[in-house]
Structure 1
C-alpha cells in the first residue's frame, strides 16, 4: 500500500518506514525502500526527513511512544502486583507482536532529544508502578533495571526463537512474572 504523493508528510514517511520494517526487518530500512513504499523518488523524502539517521530517530521515538501507550493502558487503574503483572504482559505482547519494529528501540541512551524524551516517558510509567511499592528512588532505579532486563531479554529470546524446549512459553512468562512480583519487597530489604 503506497501513500499518495499529495499526502506525504513526515508522519506518512514514518508510517511507510514502519511498513518496510514490519515486512522485512530493520536491516531493510533504506531511503530507497521507504521512497518506493511512498510511491515517490528517493530525493522527494528529503523534503520530509533529513536522511536515514533522522528517520531512524523518528521511528525509535514512534515505537517507544507506542510501547508507552500500551504500558500506560495496561497499568491504568491498577497498582502494586496487579499493575506490575499487567505492565509485563503488555510489554511482552507489544515486543513479540511487533518484533521487527521493537528491534528499533535503542538499548542505550540515544543522543536524539525526541528519542530520549520518548524513552523517558516509558521509564516514567515503570517508575510509577514501582513507586506504588513505597520504594526509595534508588530502589525504583534498581527494580526498573531488573524489570527491563527481564522483559527485554525474554521478549527478544521469544522473537528470535531462543526457546526451543517443548514447555509452554506462557507458563514460563508466568513464572518470570511471579519471580519479578517478589522483587519490590526484596529491593526494600537490600537498600
Structure 2
C-alpha cells in the first residue's frame, strides 16, 4: 500500500530536485526515498524501477523546457527567435543542471514520441522557417542548432571554459551571431528568401 502523501508526481519532483543538487547520474531510489522520508520499497508503489524514475525526470525536464521555449519564442522571428530559444536551454541548464542532464537521457522510441521532445523539434523548425531553408537542409539545421546549443551548454556546465580570459557570455553571443549568419547566408536558402 502506498504511503499517504507520496504520489508519482511527488516522487518525480523529489528525484528532479535531487538531480539538480547531486547530479542526475547519482539519483537512486534509495536517495529519493530518504528525501521523502519513506522506505525505498514504498517508492515502488509509484514507479516500476530505477530506469522509470530517470525517465520521469527526463520527461519533466523536456516538458519544462518546452513550456519555457514556447513562451520565449512567442512573437519572435529570425535572430531574436534563435537567441531566445538558445537562451532557454542555457538558462535552464544553469538553474537546473541535473534536470538538464536528464533531458539528454535516452528514451525508448515510444516514450520519446509521447514526450515533449517533438515539441522542441517543431519549435526549432518554426524558428527556421524565418531563414527559409528547404528540406533536407532544415533537418540539418535542426541538428546543427541542437548540437551547438547542447554542446556549448554541456561544456560550460562541466567547467571547460573556466580558464580563459574571454567571458562565456561573450563567446555565447559570438556563437549565436555566427549561427544566425550561417543560416541567413546558407546557399540552400530558397530563391527570394
Q: TM-score of the superposition, structure 2-length normalised?
A: 0.89
- Where does residue 101 of structure 1 map in the other structure? 99
1:6 Cα deviation after fit: 2.2
Q: Deviations over 1:133-169 (max 9, x none)?
A: 2222322211111111111111111111101202111
Conserved 8 A contact 1:70-1:91: no
- State the alpha-carbon separation in 1 of the partners of residues 140 and 82 from structure 2: 15
- Where does residue 181 of structure 2 map in the other structure? 182
CA spacing shift, 1:152–1:28, aligned 2, 3 Å: same
Higher alpha-carbon deviation: 55-64 or 94-103: 94-103
Conserved 8 A contact 1:65-1:122: no
- Where does residue 86 of structure 1 map in the other structure? 84
1:171 Cα deviation after fit: 0.7
- Where does residue 167 of structure 2 map in the other structure? 168
- State the alpha-carbon separation in 2 of the partners of residues 8 and 114 from structure 1: 24
1:100 Cα deviation after fit: 2.1
CA spacing shift, 1:56–1:107, aligned 2, 3 Å: closer
Conserved 8 A contact 1:71-1:87: yes
Conserved 8 A contact 1:13-1:48: yes
- State the alpha-carbon separation in 2 of the partners of residues 106 and 165 from structure 1: 27
- 1:113 correspondence with 2:110: yes
- State the alpha-carbon separation in 2 of the partners of residues 79 and 39 from structure 1: 47
CA spacing shift, 1:96–1:12, aligned 2, 3 Å: same
- Where does residue 127 of structure 1 map in the other structure? 125
1:102 Cα deviation after fit: 0.9
Q: Deviations over 1:85-130 (max 9, x none)?
A: 111122211122222221112365x215334432111111111111
Unmatched 5+ stretches in structure 2? none
- 1:47 correspondence with 2:45: yes
- State the alpha-carbon separation in 2 of the partners of residues 107 and 184 from structure 1: 28
CA spacing shift, 1:107–1:126, aligned 2, 3 Å: farther
Q: TM-score of the superposition, structure 1-length normalised?
A: 0.90
